Structure 1
């Protein structure tokens, strides 16, 4: 299970991990299995863990006062699941993160993640690269949401994340894109 994480880290750094560093990473990340619909994080809890998805799919979402779910993030293999705001600020999460499929994760406490970033140069480099990519993706999503039509948003999403189209149902994708499932259905029929 840890091999996928080690491979992931090595592909995002110019500093290959030493055997000692690999051992420290393996000792810091604990395997966890989450059944479909089981929570990784619930709204109102402080996010204490970061999860690396080895197998499965998850979603991060909030629920409004009418009971409508609003998808903030989708995760599949080789993605990291966490509520960054809650973890960094130690505030109560506004989100739920649950498994959309049976999921296998490697989890680490936020404190241990910070420790590894300082202790292992390649882990710190990988984390900085992840943060940069995440920030860029967030900027693009925000820009797309305020500037593009529903058709263009779906076109970009399906081009950039075709695997998500196969893994998540239409209503989840529609919510992620900020459109209704009826609109998405119309777009997909074209």
Structure 2
């Protein structure tokens, strides 16, 4: 059950055999059905979750009920409303399953305890947060400085799994484009 998580961690930091065993005691397993919520806006985010299997989306709703996707989380990704998780404030994000999903979840208290008891995990999360900041900065550049076609082709290049597994209307929301625009770009690219 912990193979994917341990592999992900080992790609960034080294853990002893004992630490790998101890690490497992901090997590709880959860399954989500397709379209089932992990978190809803207004609730408190009590866990940060590692995707063992499946696919989730994180998003907020505008005043008209329009969905604006913040991120997708595939196998080997972490997901949370991090502000709510860390600051114990109400969540502004919704998180739900696009596919049947299996998660390994850790509470805020256990997250803090984990980093104290296994110091390599603090380094692991720091590496993740650094990578996340770089990714968010790049995404801001793409969203404000690229054409619709450039946004889509960058997504295809950098995240081909999204194109294969995510419906095009959700891709459109993620890119900040109309679904018709994404359909037009897909047709144009397929003719090339």
Per-residue deviation at 1:120?
Answer: 1.3
Output the CA distance in 1 between the equivalents of 2:108 and 2:166: 28
Output the CA distance in 2 between the equivalents of 1:173 and 1:3: 29
**Number of the residue aligned with 1:169:** 167
Output the CA distance in 2 between the equivalents of 1:139 and 1:78: 21
Q: In angstroms, what is the RMSD of aligned CA positions?
A: 1.0
Per-residue deviation at 1:175?
Answer: 0.4
Counterpart pick for 1:53 among 46, 51, 73: 51
- Give the number of aligned pairs: 188
Output the CA distance in 2 between the equivalents of 1:151 and 1:101: 27
**TM-score of the pair, normalised by structure 1:** 0.96
Contact (CA 8 Å) 1:9, 1:122: kept in 2 or not?
no
Counterpart check, 1:156 vs 2:154: yes
Unaligned runs of 5+ in 2: none
Question: After the TM superposition, which residues 26-175 of structure 1 pair with which residues of structure 2 at under 5 Å, given as runs?
Answer: 26-175=24-173
Provide the secondary structure at the position in 2 that maps to 1:78. coil
Output the CA distance in 2 between the equivalents of 1:79 and 1:126: 13
Q: Which moved more, 1:151-160 or 1:110-119?
A: 110-119
Q: Which moved more, 1:39-48 or 1:116-125?
A: 116-125
Instruction: Return structure 1 stretches of 4+ with deviation > 2 angstroms.
Output: none
Unaligned runs of 5+ in 1: none
**Number of the residue aligned with 2:5:** 5
Provide the secondary structure at the position in 2 that maps to 1:28. coil
Provide the secondary structure at the position in 2 that maps to 1:175. helix
